[in-house]
Chains A and B, each alone.
Chain A
């Protein structure tokens, strides 16, 4: 089980309702998410809708949704959807996800949230819908977001070797 950071398709990554100066990159990217001063914050209200596309179909074991230094603004009710890249706020609120989680204080502090692997077998796009936060504050904050799992057998073009040259 590894951090699927390298499998993320950064070009089509999308986060709805993020504050322009506190974007999704702050919570996902290496280096940014370790920095407590850089975080993802919601804008118009406390909800967030994050679409994370992967370059190959991945299996997901668990996710980390952490907000240690701002516990009042940490996410509380979170739904995860698989392969629904166009789902919107109202649809996400009304439908059941592949996982519906109420974060415990330990999970909000960084403990991985375990998922039913059988529901997260071939994920091309993972959608995280944050419905509300711990303290019912106006905005929700996520300091670190990590997806843990395993990548499928992906074709790494860099590894192609010229067989004829090898045989000399």
Chain B
């Protein structure tokens, strides 16, 4: 489909709530760092366009489940992250299938479809299965952003193959976050947070110390968005 500007999007965020996320290598725990990032991401998406919807699902435990069907109400997303339990292992293939279904039944068919996967544990599926899943998503016009943290080295080959297979014209991104950093901060200047179309020629990520993020000059507000993203978003 040709891109329209501005574009309305429906996003399902897949959260890694496996036992691996109890690890404290991302402060205070992988899970909490992830929750902060998810909340900020949902906020950014709903800010980009009033008709954008964001949904949340958990990937680990007995089976992946949708906790929030795509909605414009940010509060529901924040609530879901607070109530989510840590349990079991991630079932990535099943989770992606469920996310795909949730998107398929979105109310506004004009919305583009996107899945954002946070993965902080070793992926059980093999590389070929991952590529097969990716191609099916691409065939159905679904873009996928992946945030890899915690098990970056173990997963890098599978995730890079996945991203290459699902990417169509630069609509899908893979971001790896090293341990010891603040997950949300690392994501803030990446294309995952930015509006599609705002990232110009698909070159490198924006310089980290710039006060112009997402096309909006935070310098005017006197707030450095990399130091305090929540305040920056609130003031905006």
When the two chains form their complex, are residues B110 and A86 in contact, meaning their CB atoms are under 8 A apart?
Answer: no
When the two chains form their complex, are residues B104 and A86 in contact, meaning their CB atoms are under 8 A apart?
Answer: yes
How many pairs of residues, A versus B, come closer than 8 Å at their CB atoms? Answer: 36
B209 contacts chain A at the CB level, 8 A cutoff: no
Within 8 A of B (CB), among A92-122: none
A45 contacts chain B at the CB level, 8 A cutoff: yes
Most buried by A among B1, B105, B169: B1
From B104, B105, B110, B139, A43 is in contact (CB under 8 Å) with: B139
Tell me the interface secondary structure of chain A in the complex: loop
A32 contacts chain B at the CB level, 8 A cutoff: no
Tell me the interface secondary structure of chain B in the complex: loop
Q: Cα distance A43–B167 when bound, in Å? A: 11
Q: Cα distance A47–B139 when bound, in Å? A: 9
From B2, B110, B140, A16 is in contact (CB under 8 Å) with: B140
From A23, A85, A86, A89, B2 is in contact (CB under 8 Å) with: A23
A17 contacts chain B at the CB level, 8 A cutoff: yes
B39 contacts chain A at the CB level, 8 A cutoff: no
- CB neighbours of B1 from chain A (8 A): 14-15, 18, 23
A88 contacts chain B at the CB level, 8 A cutoff: yes
Residue of A nearest to B137 (CB): A44
Q: Cα distance A15–B109 when bound, in Å? A: 13
A25 contacts chain B at the CB level, 8 A cutoff: yes
Q: Cα distance A89–B104 when bound, in Å? A: 12
B79 contacts chain A at the CB level, 8 A cutoff: no
Chain A interface size, as a band, is 10 to 19
When the two chains form their complex, are residues A11 and B109 in contact, meaning their CB atoms are under 8 A apart?
Answer: no
- CB neighbours of A85 from chain B (8 A): 109
Residue of A nearest to B106 (CB): A86
Residue of A nearest to B165 (CB): A44
| Top 10 closest pairs, chain A to chain B, by CB | A17-B139, A20-B169, A44-B139, A44-B135, A44-B138, A16-B141, A16-B140, A20-B168, A23-B2, A16-B139
Q: Which residues does B use to contact A, with CB under 8 Å?
A: 1-2, 104-105, 109-110, 135, 138-141, 168-169
Q: Besides A15-B1, A23-B2, 4 other CB < 8 A contacts?
A: A12-B109, A17-B141, A18-B1, A23-B1
